[in-house]
Amino acid sequence: MSKICNYMNNSINKYIRPYTFPVAVKLLAKGEALPQKMRVPTENLGHPVAFCQAVSMARRFGWPVALYQKDQACGLAQIALGYKEEPDFMKDGSMVYPLYVENMEAGKKTQESTPKMPTAHTYCIIVAPLHLAEFDPDVIIVYGNAAQITRLVQGALYKEGGYIESRFAGRIACGGQVVVPIVEDRCNVIIPGGGERVFAVTTDDELAFSMPKSKFEDLAEGLEKTHKGGVARIPTPFAAINAKPQFPEAYWELEKYCDLR
């Protein structure tokens, strides 16, 4: 495990306690060596998979996975992640209408707003559970419930303040997970799309949080400092736990009998 992966894995597990492994993501340039023990879907499984499935393999099975274009089964993700140029028949909204919007104009607007790599130069994307990553990641993705993602937001904002501004469309969540952190160099909150829930078995209560490498150490420090503040923690420190319980009137006679009233 690389030094930064070890540091971030310890921080995330200590302060966030995610149910599944945090995921390290890296874009490999052509000619760059593939880390050892990587599973290549077309070779190891006999078929390509969607990017979201590869992420689920990493976070649930603990598999390091390499996705060349031939291994990437989702055409939408191929375009968003920069394997292929966006074709004209996508630019006009045809892949959005009529599945998600009322008309082609709305479809075009949604497609134009979809996060995409600026150029189609992606050669290979590798993902791995953070604790097994033998590379320095470009991005770390963490899945969690609303409380856990809230803590990540608080940690991310500790140094500079402000807000994390995220956009949602219910589709192509991989763009928000990979493209936004890399291209815009900022942390992002992601609502997994329908395809990810169908193919990658992402559960109904899961959200995702993605961070670029430039924010790793600041976010880890932010998690520690905000945890020490004592207001927001995982598990949530519910104030009602040490409050006096109030029982309904039907219990009052019993309370008197037990010298409680």
Confidence band of 2 (pLDDT split at 50, 70, 90) = confident
Neighbours of 199 (CB within 10 A): 16
Q: pLDDT tens digits for 127-175? A: 999 999 999 999 999 999 999 999 999 999 999 999 999 999 999 999 9
Which of 41, 111, 96, 106 is closest to 71 using CA atoms? 41
Which one-letter amino acid corresponds to residue 253?
Answer: E
Which residue type sits at 202?
A: T
Say if residue 1's pLDDT is above 80: no
Average pLDDT, the chain: 96
Residue 73 reports pLDDT greater than 80: yes
Closest CA to 191 of 131, 145, 247, 244: 145
Kindly report whether the global pTM for this prediction surpasses the value 0.85: yes
How confident is the model over 216-233, as a mean pLDDT? 95
